[in-house]
């Protein structure tokens, strides 16, 4: 193996994706662009339990000023936000549809994400479904798979490095408060760097 | 205008200098600053609550994390291409933290018998107090590894380059064996350094270091570090997968995925054992990393010249350096350490009284420092039979893999001819 961990080092080296698929579904530019403009994220499968990964992610996104919209069949409110039983019940614009459900269910959510005019269809770490990607892609959505939206945010706003994780971000440019590192177009509020 | 080149795979030396540190937003400080602080002011009560709940990435308390230490951690994780790293107060602490994170009472470890003596003592005596049993096997004998693995085995352990035999372990074969038994393979990569070998790229799951040695490189700071690949499937590995009673029943692997082991090691084991690295030592170790490749190339070049010289000396019985064609580990060394198998090795003095010859040899040296360490910029020497192992009889020495005339060298960065001169005059004096 060569020296792989340049910028955008692929942290998910245990990834389900081939190198070609990563280039499409984990492209650093796509990830950073998404983090930069996302102001509302619908989270399908957001748990009501505070120790589940989805709850961590939702708490984190909320703290960054991002509107989270829980999608859950039974719950009423999660993290203080009104819950909708399906994506199609959400009455407001959704930028990113973020999935915490098994891979095989993803084509259904992809079709719904197209119907509600979401911009990005994002499957969490460990999830991959090419059929879902095709549906979302044909509907005009960008698709990200097998990445955690919290980890990616922490990678590019610099906070993940506080825990000694390999962000793969390498630059001689001075960090900017409230901005994703070395990306001039992206403005993040309440960033810690 | 070209965009920041985020797709480039930067080279080892570039990462040695840049990984883990972006110039600070306020001061623009180019060097990694020393954050000599115990604690960090929280943004708000809400943020503090989320931070303690691990829902935020942030600084909590220097016993858990520190920005200077984190720069060291990310930099070495980048060099070995891991998911991340956790620094510890010493190499011994790196081992203990790794094992305490992975193991429970009743668990077992199978380890190479070619280990640093301090490691063996920790595995035998300290582990016993924790209810953990270690079995030691000949690292070359894969039948022995398999025979020692049972249903209680939770980890395999070896050193990239073992001493005093100068044995190089077949990492990828051992990793496959570990994985087929649902165990991570832990490699102590201290003697090879991240420059000469990247164990995670050969399938090991955890690599650890006494950073005290070549990583720091100047003999001034004790420290250790654990690097993890993020590739081991812990979903059926009890301590990482199961709910943790010390963290509100958090399931570290379920919640943090590829960071699960590292998070648990940091926020539970290092937190509870107090085995954190000091930020000042982290800063010194970072200075070491910034010149690692250049130093290691010279360490290896000097070691090779000295090993060849000793091999030809009539007073020398053997030279156990895997860089030599005569070593049984030469092939493995070429595969795992193609730039050279480090700069620490042993050789044996010949003669009727090898123990006495060893003592006289040490006394006659002028440049080599007689002390118990390796991996300094300066050349070091020790004669176990007259120091660390002096209480043992000749027979007991041999049983512990050390012969009475054995000398261990750690080759430094001095002028090659001066080192050869010093060894030559000492060999003539015995």
Q: Of A154, A118, A128, which Cα lies nearest the Cα of A38?
A: A118
Contact between A9 and B71 using a beta-carbon 8 Å cutoff:
no
Could you give the CA distance from residue A147 to residue A13 in angstroms, rounded to a whole number?
A: 11
Contact between B24 and A175 using a beta-carbon 8 Å cutoff:
yes
Residues composing chain A:
193
Full set of structural domains in chain A with CATH: 21-149 (3.40.50.720)
Residue of A45, A165, A186, A191 for testing the chain B interface, max B β-carbons within 10 Å: A165
Flag whether residue A77 sits within 8 Å of chain B, measured between CB atoms. Answer: no
Chain A contacts of B196, Cβ < 8 Å?
A: none
Interface of A with B in 156-175 (CB under 8 A): 158-175
B11 vs A3, A55, A176: nearest CB: A3
Chain segment B86-124, per-residue pLDDT in tens: 999 999 999 999 999 999 999 999 999 999 889 999 999
CA B388 to each of CA B99, B117, B118, B321: distance values in angstroms, whole numbers, following the listed order? 26, 10, 11, 21
Contact between B57 and A6 using a beta-carbon 8 Å cutoff:
no
Q: What is the pLDDT of residue B5?
A: 43
Flag whether residue A137 sits within 8 Å of chain B, measured between CB atoms. Answer: no
Could you give the CA distance from residue B352 to residue B108 in angstroms, rounded to a whole number?
A: 43
DSSP state of A104: G
Residue of B35, B54, B57 for testing the chain A interface, max A β-carbons within 10 Å: B57
B81 vs A4, A63, A158: nearest CB: A4
Beta-carbon pairs below 8 A across chains A and B: 179
CATH architecture designation of domain B293-429:
Alpha-Beta Complex (3.90)
A5 vs B28, B50, B78: nearest CB: B78
* Angle, in degrees to the nearest 10, between helices A149-157 and A28-37: 90
Q: Is B367 helix (H, G, I), strand (E, B) or coil?
A: coil
* Pair of tokens at residue B133: 């049993």
Flag whether residue A13 sits within 8 Å of chain B, measured between CB atoms. Answer: yes
Rg of chain B over Cα atoms, rounded to whole angstroms, equals: 22
Domain ranges for chain B: 12-289, 293-429
Could you give the CA distance from residue B160 to residue B188 in angstroms, rounded to a whole number?
A: 6
What is the interface pTM, i.e. ipTM, of the complex?
0.92
Flag whether residue A9 sits within 8 Å of chain B, measured between CB atoms. Answer: yes
Chain A contacts of B46, Cβ < 8 Å?
A: 63
Torsion from C-alpha of B62, B260, B125, B216, nearest 10 degrees: -50
CB B258 within 8 A of CB A10: no
Could you give the CA distance from residue B268 to residue B244 in angstroms, rounded to a whole number?
A: 9
Q: What is the pLDDT of residue B94?
A: 98
Strand partners, B158: B187
CB B61 within 8 A of CB A162: no
Chain B contacts of A56, Cβ < 8 Å?
A: 54-55, 255
Question: Contacts by B60-64 with C-beta closer than 8 Å and gap 24+?
Answer: B62/B35, B62/B37, B62/B38, B62/B276, B62/B279, B63/B270, B63/B271, B63/B274, B63/B276, B64/B266, B64/B267, B64/B270, B64/B271, B64/B276
Q: How far is B195 from chain A (nearest CA, A)?
A: 11
Contact between B65 and A163 using a beta-carbon 8 Å cutoff:
yes
Residues of chain A where predicted confidence (pLDDT) is lower than 70: 1-15, 177-193
Sheet holding B133-137, edge to edge: B84-88, B224-228, B206-210, B185-188, B153-159, B108-112, B133-137
Flag whether residue A56 sits within 8 Å of chain B, measured between CB atoms. Answer: yes
CB B162 within 8 A of CB B140: no
B58 vs A32, A148, A162: nearest CB: A162
Q: What is the pLDDT of residue A5?
A: 32
A163 vs B5, B84, B254: nearest CB: B84
Contact between A53 and B254 using a beta-carbon 8 Å cutoff:
yes
Chain segment B305-330, per-residue pLDDT in tens: 999 999 999 999 999 999 999 999 99
Flag whether residue A180 sits within 8 Å of chain B, measured between CB atoms. Answer: no
CA–centroid distance for B47 within its chain: 36
CA B344 to each of CA A8, A150, B88: distance values in angstroms, whole numbers, following the listed order? 36, 43, 23
Q: Of B358, B400, B403, which Cα lies nearest the Cα of B382?
A: B358
Flag whether residue A75 sits within 8 Å of chain B, measured between CB atoms. Answer: no
Q: What is the pLDDT of residue A11?
A: 38
Q: What is the pLDDT of residue B201?
A: 97
Q: How far is A137 from chain B (nearest CA, A)?
A: 23
The single residue listed with the structure tokens 């990239």 is: B160
Contact between A14 and B258 using a beta-carbon 8 Å cutoff:
yes
Query: In B55-80, which positions are buried (b, 16+ CB within 10 angstroms) versus exposed (e)?
Result: bbbbbbebebbbbbbbbbbbbbbbbb
Contact between A53 and B25 using a beta-carbon 8 Å cutoff:
no
Contact between B24 and A192 using a beta-carbon 8 Å cutoff:
no
Phi-psi region of B175 (alpha: psi -120 to 50; beta: other; left: phi over 0): alpha
Q: What is the pLDDT of residue B8?
A: 83
Cis ω on the peptide bond leading into residue B164 (within 30° of 0)? Answer: yes
Residue of A16, A32, A166 for testing the chain B interface, max B β-carbons within 10 Å: A166
B83 vs A148, A159, A166: nearest CB: A166
Q: How far is A7 from chain B (nearest CA, A)?
A: 5
CB B379 within 8 A of CB B423: no
Residues of chain B where predicted confidence (pLDDT) is lower than 70: 1-7
Could you give the CA distance from residue A54 to residue B173 in angstroms, rounded to a whole number?
A: 37
Contact between B19 and A164 using a beta-carbon 8 Å cutoff:
no
Chain A: residue whose CA lies nearest to B21: A170
Q: Of B169, B154, B141, which Cα lies nearest the Cα of B106?
A: B154
Q: What is the pLDDT of residue B165?
A: 87
B8 vs A1, A7, A11: nearest CB: A7
Given CATH 3.40.640.10, say whether it is the number of domain B12-289.
Answer: yes
Could you give the CA distance from residue B318 to residue B417 in angstroms, rounded to a whole number?
A: 21
């Amino acid at each position: 193996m060569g020296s792989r961990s340049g910028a955008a080092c692929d942290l998910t080296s245990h990834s389900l994706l081939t190198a070609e698929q990563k280039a499409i579904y984990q492209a650093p530019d796509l990830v950073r662009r998404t983090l930069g403009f996302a102001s509302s994220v619908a989270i399908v499968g957001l748990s009501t339990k505070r120790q589940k990964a989805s709850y961590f992610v939702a708490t984190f996104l909320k703290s960054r000023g991002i509107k989270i919209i829980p999608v859950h069949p039974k719950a009423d409110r999660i993290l203080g936000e009104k819950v909708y039983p399906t994506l199609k019940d959400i009455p407001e614009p959704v930028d990113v549809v973020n999935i915490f459900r098994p891979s095989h269910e993803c084509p259904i959510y992809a079709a719904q994400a197209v119907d509600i005019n979401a911009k990005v269809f994002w499957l969490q770490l460990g999830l991959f479904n090419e059929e879902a990607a095709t549906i979302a892609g044909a509907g005009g959505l960008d698709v990200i798979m097998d990445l955690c939206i919290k980890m990616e945010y922490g990678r590019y706003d610099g906070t993940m490095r506080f825990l000694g994780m390999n962000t793969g971000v390498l630059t001689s440019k001075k960090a900017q408060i409230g901005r994703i590192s070395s990306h001039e177009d992206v403005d993040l509020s309440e960033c810690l760097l | 205008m070209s965009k920041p080149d985020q797709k480039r795979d930067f080279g080892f030396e570039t990462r040695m200098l840049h990984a883990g540190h972006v110039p600070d937003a306020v001061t623009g400080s180019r060097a990694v600053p020393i954050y000599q602080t115990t604690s960090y002011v929280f943004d708000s009560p809400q943020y503090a609550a989320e931070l303690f709940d691990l829902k935020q990435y942030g600084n909590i308390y220097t016993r858990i994390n520190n920005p200077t230490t984190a720069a060291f951690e990310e930099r070495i994780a980048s060099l070995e291409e891991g998911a991340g790293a956790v620094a510890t107060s010493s190499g011994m602490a790196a081992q203990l933290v790794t094992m305490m994170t992975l193991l429970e009472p009743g668990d077992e470890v199978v380890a190479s018998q070619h280990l640093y003596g301090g490691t063996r003592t920790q595995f035998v005596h300290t582990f016993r107090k924790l209810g953990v049993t270690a079995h030691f096997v000949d690292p070359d004998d894969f039948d022995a590894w398999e025979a020692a693995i049972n249903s209680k085995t939770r980890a395999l352990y070896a050193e990239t380059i073992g001493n005093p035999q100068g044995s190089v372990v077949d990492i990828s074969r051992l990793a496959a064996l570990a994985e087929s038994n649902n165990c991570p393979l832990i490699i102590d990569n201290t003697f090879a350094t991240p420059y000469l070998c990247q164990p995670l790229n050969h399938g090991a799951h955890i690599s650890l270091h006494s950073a005290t040695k070549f990583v720091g490189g100047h003999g001034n700071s004790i420290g250790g570090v654990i690097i993890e690949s993020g590739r081991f499937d812990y979903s059926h590995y009890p301590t990482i997968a199961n709910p943790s009673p010390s963290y509100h029943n958090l399931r570290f692997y379920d919640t943090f995925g590829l960071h699960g082991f590292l998070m648990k090691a940091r926020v539970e084991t290092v937190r509870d054992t107090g085995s954190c690295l000091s930020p000042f030592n982290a800063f010194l170790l970072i200075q070491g990393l910034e010149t690692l490749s250049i130093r290691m190339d010279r360490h290896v070049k000097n070691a090779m010249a000295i090993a060849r010289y000793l091999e030809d000396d009539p007073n020398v019985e053997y030279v156990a350096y895997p860089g030599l064609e005569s070593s049984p580990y030469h092939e493995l060394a070429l595969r795992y350490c193609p730039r050279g198998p480090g700069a620490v090795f042993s050789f044996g003095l010949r003669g009727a009284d090898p123990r006495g010859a060893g003592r006289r040899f040490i006394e006659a040296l002028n440049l080599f420092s007689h002390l118990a360490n390796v991996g300094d910029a300066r050349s070091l020497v020790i004669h176990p039979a007259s120091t660390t192992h002096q209480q043992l009889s000749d027979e007991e020495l041999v049983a512990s893999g050390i012969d009475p005339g054995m000398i261990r060298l750690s080759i430094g960065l001095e002028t090659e001819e001066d080192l050869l001169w010093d060894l030559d005059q000492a060999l003539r004096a015995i």
